[in-house]
Protein backbone atom coordinates (compact mmCIF):
# COMPACT_ATOMS: atom_id res chain seq x y z
CA UNK A 1 0.00 0.00 0.00
CA UNK A 2 1.34 3.41 -0.93
CA UNK A 3 0.46 5.83 1.84
CA UNK A 4 0.97 9.58 2.00
CA UNK A 5 0.64 11.36 5.33
CA UNK A 6 0.25 15.14 5.18
CA UNK A 7 1.82 16.79 8.18
CA UNK A 8 2.05 20.36 9.32
CA UNK A 9 4.57 21.94 11.64
CA UNK A 10 3.14 24.13 14.37
CA UNK A 11 4.72 26.26 17.08
CA UNK A 12 5.33 24.32 20.28
CA UNK A 13 3.50 26.65 22.57
CA UNK A 14 0.04 27.47 23.79
CA UNK A 15 0.70 31.16 23.84
CA UNK A 16 1.75 32.90 20.69
CA UNK A 17 1.66 36.64 21.23
CA UNK A 18 0.73 39.53 18.98
CA UNK A 19 3.43 42.05 18.17
CA UNK A 20 1.77 45.29 19.30
CA UNK A 21 3.49 47.27 16.54
CA UNK A 22 2.91 45.11 13.49
CA UNK A 23 -0.19 43.27 14.69
CA UNK A 24 1.34 40.05 13.42
CA UNK A 25 1.77 36.84 15.36
CA UNK A 26 5.20 36.56 16.91
CA UNK A 27 6.40 33.10 16.01
CA UNK A 28 10.13 33.51 16.16
CA UNK A 29 12.10 31.73 18.87
CA UNK A 30 9.34 29.19 19.16
CA UNK A 31 10.38 25.67 18.39
CA UNK A 32 8.37 23.86 15.72
CA UNK A 33 6.81 20.45 16.29
CA UNK A 34 4.53 18.11 14.36
CA UNK A 35 0.89 19.06 14.75
CA UNK A 36 -0.24 16.55 17.39
CA UNK A 37 -3.11 15.07 15.36
CA UNK A 38 -0.71 14.43 12.50
CA UNK A 39 1.27 12.12 14.79
CA UNK A 40 -1.92 10.08 15.10
CA UNK A 41 -2.12 10.03 11.30
CA UNK A 42 1.48 8.80 11.07
CA UNK A 43 0.76 6.12 13.68
CA UNK A 44 -2.29 4.97 11.68
CA UNK A 45 -0.08 4.73 8.59
CA UNK A 46 2.57 2.71 10.44
CA UNK A 47 -0.05 0.24 11.65
CA UNK A 48 -1.50 -0.19 8.17
CA UNK A 49 1.95 -0.70 6.67
CA UNK A 50 2.56 -3.39 9.25
CA UNK A 51 -0.55 -5.22 8.05
CA UNK A 52 -0.47 -4.59 4.33
CA UNK A 53 3.15 -3.74 3.59
CA UNK A 54 4.02 -0.79 1.40
CA UNK A 55 5.57 2.62 1.91
CA UNK A 56 4.82 5.77 3.84
CA UNK A 57 5.71 9.16 2.41
CA UNK A 58 5.39 12.27 4.55
CA UNK A 59 4.29 15.39 2.72
CA UNK A 60 4.40 18.91 4.05
CA UNK A 61 4.13 22.36 2.56
CA UNK A 62 6.03 25.05 4.39
CA UNK A 63 9.35 26.80 4.89
CA UNK A 64 12.63 24.89 5.18
CA UNK A 65 12.33 24.88 8.97
CA UNK A 66 9.58 22.24 8.51
CA UNK A 67 12.39 19.75 7.94
CA UNK A 68 12.50 19.43 11.73
CA UNK A 69 9.09 17.81 11.90
CA UNK A 70 9.58 15.76 8.74
CA UNK A 71 12.72 14.37 10.36
CA UNK A 72 10.68 13.54 13.47
CA UNK A 73 8.09 11.76 11.35
CA UNK A 74 10.83 9.76 9.66
CA UNK A 75 12.11 8.83 13.10
CA UNK A 76 8.66 7.47 13.94
CA UNK A 77 9.18 5.10 11.03
CA UNK A 78 8.02 6.71 7.79
CA UNK A 79 10.06 5.78 4.71
CA UNK A 80 10.54 9.09 2.94
CA UNK A 81 9.56 12.73 3.06
CA UNK A 82 8.80 15.52 0.63
CA UNK A 83 8.85 19.20 1.53
CA UNK A 84 6.94 21.58 -0.72
CA UNK A 85 8.88 24.74 -0.26
CA UNK A 86 8.90 27.97 -2.21
CA UNK A 87 8.33 31.63 -1.58
CA UNK A 88 5.48 31.39 -4.08
CA UNK A 89 3.63 28.98 -1.78
CA UNK A 90 3.67 31.50 1.08
CA UNK A 91 0.53 33.16 2.38
CA UNK A 92 -1.65 30.23 1.34
CA UNK A 93 -5.04 29.67 2.94
CA UNK A 94 -6.67 26.23 3.11
CA UNK A 95 -7.75 26.26 -0.56
CA UNK A 96 -4.29 27.11 -1.90
CA UNK A 97 -2.52 24.78 0.55
CA UNK A 98 -4.72 21.85 -0.40
CA UNK A 99 -4.26 22.59 -4.09
CA UNK A 100 -0.46 22.36 -3.87
CA UNK A 101 -0.66 19.21 -1.73
CA UNK A 102 -3.04 17.66 -4.28
CA UNK A 103 -0.71 18.42 -7.16
CA UNK A 104 2.19 16.89 -5.24
CA UNK A 105 0.13 13.76 -4.54
CA UNK A 106 -0.61 13.49 -8.27
CA UNK A 107 3.09 13.77 -8.99
CA UNK A 108 3.94 11.07 -6.42
CA UNK A 109 1.45 8.92 -8.32
CA UNK A 110 -0.51 5.72 -7.60
CA UNK A 111 -1.17 6.72 -4.01
CA UNK A 112 -3.65 4.39 -2.26
CA UNK A 113 -4.29 6.27 0.92
CA UNK A 114 -3.85 9.86 2.05
CA UNK A 115 -3.94 10.52 5.76
CA UNK A 116 -4.39 13.84 7.55
CA UNK A 117 -4.75 14.95 11.14
CA UNK A 118 -8.28 15.96 12.05
CA UNK A 119 -7.12 19.58 12.23
CA UNK A 120 -4.06 21.66 12.83
CA UNK A 121 -3.83 23.20 16.28
CA UNK A 122 -2.85 26.62 14.98
CA UNK A 123 -5.13 27.24 12.00
CA UNK A 124 -7.62 24.87 13.55
CA UNK A 125 -9.73 24.42 10.44
CA UNK A 126 -9.70 20.74 9.51
CA UNK A 127 -10.40 21.83 5.95
CA UNK A 128 -7.25 20.83 4.13
CA UNK A 129 -8.08 17.09 4.13
CA UNK A 130 -11.58 17.39 2.62
CA UNK A 131 -10.38 19.93 0.03
CA UNK A 132 -7.63 17.56 -1.10
CA UNK A 133 -10.24 14.78 -1.30
CA UNK A 134 -12.38 16.97 -3.52
CA UNK A 135 -9.46 18.14 -5.66
CA UNK A 136 -8.45 14.52 -6.26
CA UNK A 137 -12.07 13.32 -6.57
CA UNK A 138 -11.63 10.78 -3.81
CA UNK A 139 -14.00 9.55 -1.11
CA UNK A 140 -13.28 10.78 2.41
CA UNK A 141 -13.76 9.61 5.96
CA UNK A 142 -13.19 12.61 8.19
CA UNK A 143 -12.75 12.62 11.98
CA UNK A 144 -12.18 8.86 11.91
CA UNK A 145 -11.72 7.26 15.32
CA UNK A 146 -11.06 3.77 14.03
CA UNK A 147 -9.76 2.32 10.82
CA UNK A 148 -9.65 -1.31 9.77
CA UNK A 149 -8.20 -2.85 6.70
CA UNK A 150 -10.79 -5.14 5.08
CA UNK A 151 -8.73 -6.38 2.19
CA UNK A 152 -6.00 -4.68 0.28
CA UNK A 153 -8.27 -2.16 -1.34
CA UNK A 154 -10.95 -1.49 1.23
CA UNK A 155 -11.10 0.17 4.64
CA UNK A 156 -13.82 0.44 7.24
CA UNK A 157 -13.80 3.52 9.41
CA UNK A 158 -15.94 4.78 12.25
CA UNK A 159 -16.62 8.39 12.94
CA UNK A 160 -18.63 10.09 15.61
CA UNK A 161 -21.17 12.54 14.23
CA UNK A 162 -23.20 14.61 16.63
CA UNK A 163 -25.40 11.87 18.00
CA UNK A 164 -24.44 8.82 16.00
CA UNK A 165 -21.46 6.69 15.21
CA UNK A 166 -21.22 6.23 11.48
CA UNK A 167 -19.64 3.16 9.97
CA UNK A 168 -18.20 3.92 6.56
CA UNK A 169 -16.68 1.60 3.98
CA UNK A 170 -14.32 3.08 1.41
CA UNK A 171 -12.51 1.61 -1.52
CA UNK A 172 -8.99 2.86 -2.01
CA UNK A 173 -7.72 5.32 -3.02
CA UNK A 174 -9.27 7.42 -0.27
CA UNK A 175 -8.67 10.32 2.11
CA UNK A 176 -8.91 9.84 5.87
CA UNK A 177 -8.60 12.46 8.60
CA UNK A 178 -7.60 10.99 11.94
CA UNK A 179 -8.83 11.80 15.44
CA UNK A 180 -6.55 11.37 18.44
CA UNK A 181 -8.92 8.69 19.76
CA UNK A 182 -7.75 6.33 17.03
CA UNK A 183 -4.37 5.46 18.53
CA UNK A 184 -1.44 6.49 20.70
CA UNK A 185 1.49 7.60 18.56
CA UNK A 186 4.63 5.60 19.23
CA UNK A 187 7.82 7.12 20.58
CA UNK A 188 10.86 7.48 18.42
CA UNK A 189 13.52 4.91 19.24
CA UNK A 190 17.21 5.84 19.18
CA UNK A 191 17.69 3.43 16.28
CA UNK A 192 14.90 5.02 14.26
CA UNK A 193 16.20 8.49 15.02
CA UNK A 194 19.58 7.43 13.74
CA UNK A 195 18.05 5.86 10.65
CA UNK A 196 15.99 8.97 9.97
CA UNK A 197 19.14 10.89 9.19
CA UNK A 198 19.95 8.44 6.40
CA UNK A 199 16.58 8.97 4.78
CA UNK A 200 16.30 11.63 2.15
CA UNK A 201 14.03 14.61 2.32
CA UNK A 202 13.08 15.68 -1.20
CA UNK A 203 12.27 19.31 -1.81
CA UNK A 204 9.86 20.39 -4.54
CA UNK A 205 9.03 23.93 -5.54
CA UNK A 206 6.49 25.12 -8.11
CA UNK A 207 9.04 24.15 -10.78
CA UNK A 208 8.66 20.46 -10.01
CA UNK A 209 4.85 20.58 -9.91
CA UNK A 210 2.29 21.25 -12.62
CA UNK A 211 0.71 24.06 -10.63
CA UNK A 212 -1.32 26.96 -11.96
CA UNK A 213 0.45 30.08 -10.58
CA UNK A 214 -2.88 31.81 -9.96
CA UNK A 215 -3.97 29.03 -7.60
CA UNK A 216 -0.97 28.96 -5.28
CA UNK A 217 0.18 31.07 -2.34
CA UNK A 218 -1.45 34.37 -1.62
CA UNK A 219 -2.67 34.71 -5.23
CA UNK A 220 -4.66 31.49 -4.92
CA UNK A 221 -6.13 32.31 -1.52
CA UNK A 222 -9.62 33.82 -1.56
CA UNK A 223 -9.54 34.71 2.13
CA UNK A 224 -7.77 37.71 3.61
CA UNK A 225 -6.97 38.29 7.25
CA UNK A 226 -8.43 41.71 7.89
CA UNK A 227 -7.40 42.12 11.47
CA UNK A 228 -5.84 40.22 14.34
CA UNK A 229 -6.69 41.43 17.79
CA UNK A 230 -6.90 40.54 21.45
CA UNK A 231 -10.52 40.76 22.45
CA UNK A 232 -11.60 42.81 25.42
CA UNK A 233 -13.37 40.35 27.64
CA UNK A 234 -16.30 41.71 29.58
CA UNK A 235 -15.12 40.67 33.02
CA UNK A 236 -17.45 39.33 35.65
CA UNK A 237 -17.90 40.82 39.09
CA UNK A 238 -15.94 38.31 41.07
CA UNK A 239 -16.92 37.61 44.63
CA UNK A 240 -14.24 36.08 46.82
CA UNK A 241 -15.34 33.17 48.95
CA UNK A 242 -13.95 32.66 52.49
CA UNK A 243 -10.58 30.91 52.79
CA UNK A 244 -11.97 27.96 54.66
CA UNK A 245 -13.50 25.44 52.28
CA UNK A 246 -16.41 24.57 54.53
CA UNK A 247 -17.44 28.21 55.03
CA UNK A 248 -16.87 28.93 51.36
CA UNK A 249 -19.22 26.17 50.27
CA UNK A 250 -21.84 27.21 52.82
CA UNK A 251 -21.79 30.77 51.54
CA UNK A 252 -21.81 29.70 47.92
CA UNK A 253 -24.78 27.39 48.34
CA UNK A 254 -26.71 30.05 50.26
CA UNK A 255 -26.02 32.57 47.48
CA UNK A 256 -26.89 30.22 44.65
CA UNK A 257 -30.15 29.26 46.31
CA UNK A 258 -31.28 32.86 46.41
Ligand X SMILES: Nc1ncnc2c1ncn2[C@@H]1O[C@H](COP(=O)(O)O)[C@@H](O)[C@H]1O
54/126 with CB nearer ligand X: 126
Residue 226 interacts with which of ligand FAD, ligand X, another protein, none, CB < 5 to 8 Å by class: another protein
104 binds ligand X (CB under 6 A): no
Give the long-range contacts of residues 131-134, CB within 8 A, separation 24 or more: 131/94, 131/95, 131/98, 131/99, 131/102, 132/6, 132/98, 132/101, 132/102, 132/105, 132/175, 133/174, 133/175
Q: Which of 116, 117, 166 is nearest to 136 (CA)?
A: 116
167 binds another protein (CB under 8 A): yes
160: how many CB neighbours lie within 10 A of its CB? 13
Distance CA 247, CA 130 (A): 54
* Interaction residues for another protein, span 9-28 (CB under 8 A): 10-11, 13-18, 25
220 binds ligand X (CB under 6 A): no
Give the x/- contact pattern for ligand FAD in 67-106, rule: CB under 6 A: ----------------------------------------
Residue 116 interacts with which of ligand X, another protein, ligand FAD, none, CB < 5 to 8 Å by class: ligand X
227 binds another protein (CB under 8 A): yes
116 binds ligand X (CB under 6 A): yes
Amino acid sequence: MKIVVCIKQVPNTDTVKIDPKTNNLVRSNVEGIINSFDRNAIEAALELRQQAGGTITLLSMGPDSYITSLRDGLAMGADSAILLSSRKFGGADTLATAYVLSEAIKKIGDVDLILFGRQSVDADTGQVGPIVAEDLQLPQVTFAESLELQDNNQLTGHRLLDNVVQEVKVKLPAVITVRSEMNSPRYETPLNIQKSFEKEITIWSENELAVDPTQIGQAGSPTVVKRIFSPEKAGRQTQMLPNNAKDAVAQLLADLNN
